[in-house]
Structure 1
Amino acid sequence: MDSSPTKLDYYDDMLKLQSTATLLSYYKGDDGRNALILDRTIFYPQGGGQPADNGFIQIAGSELKFVVQDVRSKDGIVFHYGFIESLSVECESKLGKGMEVTLFVDEPRRKLNSRLHSAGHLLDICLPRAGLGHLEPRKAYHFLDGPYVEYKGTVPENEIQSKQKDIELEANSLISTGIKVSVEIYPYDEASKLCGGCLPDYVPKESTPRIVKIGDNPGCPCGGTHVSDISEIKHIKVSQIRSKKGMTKIFYNI
């Protein structure tokens, strides 16, 4: 297995859904799953509360197609898990290091995941507008089966219903107006300024964080995929707020 870090092309262009790469190895993990390791990828690996991209990888000069069912990253290496769509049991032997491949990301899934992920960031900037500026973002879950964002801090029980409506109103007002979303890598000190003066402790001080910003609002470090304008979210529904033991979860759907 090749140990070189995978170049993350989606970092630079989240709208790119087709690209070429070089095959480094065809790998079978301890769990029995088959994976392709490439020198670069536009497939997003599951992480940061966002599900992985799906799609397929075509082997150049052949009819071999590797169906990508899951994508994971470990120690900088991206593993594209799936299976070869072929009737021949001998096709695996045709996969060799250095072969050129073409990557195709499933567009509807990527767009849906990007909308769900961006909606979570949108809620972050709506909290101060709804009088909940004291809540501190902790983590998020942007899967379709129940997306939410979690914050440190609580909302009084008697205010939950009204705050839920306020957050939703603010979010949809911004969506209807439309605001550009920018994603860029910055030196640590500059990134810190863009994020309100500080970065989370998990961001190394010697790093160059990738920062997502919605308009002129404070940004945050994020490695996921996003919409180019929040109008693409179309509509957000804040379905529930749970607040207890010093933590608050805001559930939503789009």
Structure 2
Amino acid sequence: MTEKLYYVDPYLKECEAQVVDVIREDDRLLVVLDKTPFYPEGGGQPSDIGYIDGVKVTYVYEKNDVIYHVVEEEVKGRNVECSIDFERRFDFMQQHSGEHLLSGVIHKLYRGNNKGFHLGEDYVTIDIDIYPFKDSMVEEIEKEVNNYIYMNEPFLTYFVDKESLDKVPSRKKIDVEGDIRIVEAKNMDCCPCCGTHVLRTGEIGIVKILKVEKYKGMSRLYLKCGKRAYEDFKFKHNIVDILCRKFSTDEKSVIKNIDKQFEEIFNLKRGVSYLNNKLAQEEALKLMESSKEGYIFKSYEDKSFEEVKYIGEALQNEPYIVVLSSLKEKNILFINNSDIELSCGKVFKEHIKKFNGKGGGRNEKAQGSFCDIKDLEEFSTFLYKMIKGIH
């Protein structure tokens, strides 16, 4: 049985310990100590990482009251120095403690129950058996939980046996045989937990709900606490600051200015689309007038493929086989509006790869792309010979 120093003092960063056992298990090397400051993965909280006598500890887990430290190489000594990555540990303490308060507030205000918890490297999620989760609820919950934080009340941790469970004001039903560890912030939250926590609520700093989405008939809340929330605010504030400078406005007016520009862009695009259609119709007339057969072939050096497709649309009701290319963007369009039985998609599927191209489509239309203009021109020539041969 390993002595769990992280329960005695969750702020302990370093300590001396004795190596009890070194185990080779498959491709892993495990170290067992008589006592450890390393928290093993459990209760939704990732394990600590750090060093044992300078050897990196990459993962820690517990089995049958023994804590196993996965190390990158063999630990030589018997009396060793242990040090954990405390910045990571304290981050997890902030997130885990913030999640407890948030879950307690949700239960208090809306009788919602935490049905799932994940503490990731970037954000925390909790699954609540309430759906839908309204914006007004999020606002009220955030206000309440952060007021708890400002009160800077203590977090209490203690073990209780089965006979004492009835005295624990837990928001979760507890049904165990042995002793169980309780984490409690009085008048805020109380529930069984094996994780590490801050000593006082003020150390959480802030809790911010990032978004809420539907998940298996419940609501999944994404949140950040403490330093993570600060870094998230700093990142988003920088974005807002850049937008304000670009739009020459302040934070209160930036959304209005963005909406205005979106409307202007939409109107411009609509105008450009109208002009492209007009130009495409004129070009389609020229192509039909110059065509002496039932097919049209044309390569454009200066037109984008978008412009080429406008021309194709202008020809879609005309009885031609059409092959149009954009040499500028190395794309090709193949259309069959004639009475000849010819599947454009099948032709592309069977032949375009021979010319180092890729693409596909339906019976009446297909399009493809190439990395090299020469390949595009050779494929276009292949189509020309094939179509001329069946006319």
Please classify the TM superposition score into its range, dividing by the shorter chain length. Answer: 0.7 to 0.9
Q: Could you tell me how far apart the structure 1 residues matched to 2:15 and 2:75 are?
A: 24
Q: How many matched pairs?
A: 225
Tell me the equivalent position of 2:194: 223
Runs (5+) with no aligned partner, structure 2: 226-391
Tell me the equivalent position of 2:10: 14
CA displacement at 1:198 relative to structure 2:
6.5
TM-score, reference length from structure 2: 0.54
State yes or no: 1:115 paired with 2:94. yes
CA displacement at 1:8 relative to structure 2:
1.6
Tell me the equivalent position of 1:164: 138
For the 8 Å contact 2:171–2:191, the answer to whether it is kept is no
Give matches, 1:95-174, under 5 Å: 95=77, 99-129=78-108, 131-133=109-111, 135-151=112-128, 153-156=129-132, 159-174=133-148
Does the C-alpha gap of structure 1 residues 122 and 101 become closer, same or farther in structure 2, counting only changes over 3 Å?
Answer: same
State yes or no: 1:52 paired with 2:23. no
CA deviations over 1:110-162 (Å, ceiling 9, x no partner)? 11010011111011121145x312x12223112232311123x2233xx5211
Secondary structure of the residue aligned to 1:145 is coil
CA displacement at 1:81 relative to structure 2:
1.1
The higher-RCO structure (CA 8 Å, 6+ apart) is 1
Tell me the equivalent position of 2:21: 25
Which of the pair has more CA radius of gyration? 2
AA in 2 matched with 1:12: V
Q: Could you tell me how far apart the structure 2 residues matched to 1:194 and 1:146 are?
A: 30
For the 8 Å contact 1:123–1:171, the answer to whether it is kept is yes
Q: Could you tell me how far apart the structure 2 residues matched to 1:211 and 1:107 are?
A: 23
Secondary structure of the residue aligned to 2:126 is strand
Q: Could you tell me how far apart the structure 2 residues matched to 1:82 and 1:100 are?
A: 16
Does the C-alpha gap of structure 1 residues 83 and 192 become closer, same or farther in structure 2, counting only changes over 3 Å?
Answer: farther
For the 8 Å contact 1:192–1:198, the answer to whether it is kept is no
Runs (5+) with no aligned partner, structure 1: 59-64, 85-91
Tell me the equivalent position of 1:179: 153
TM-score, reference length from structure 1: 0.80
Q: Could you tell me how far apart the structure 1 residues matched to 2:106 and 2:207 are?
A: 14
Q: Alpha carbon RMSD of aligned pairs, Å?
A: 2.1
For the 8 Å contact 1:150–1:247, the answer to whether it is kept is yes
Which protein is richer in strand relative to its size? 1
What is the percent sequence identity of the aligned residues?
28
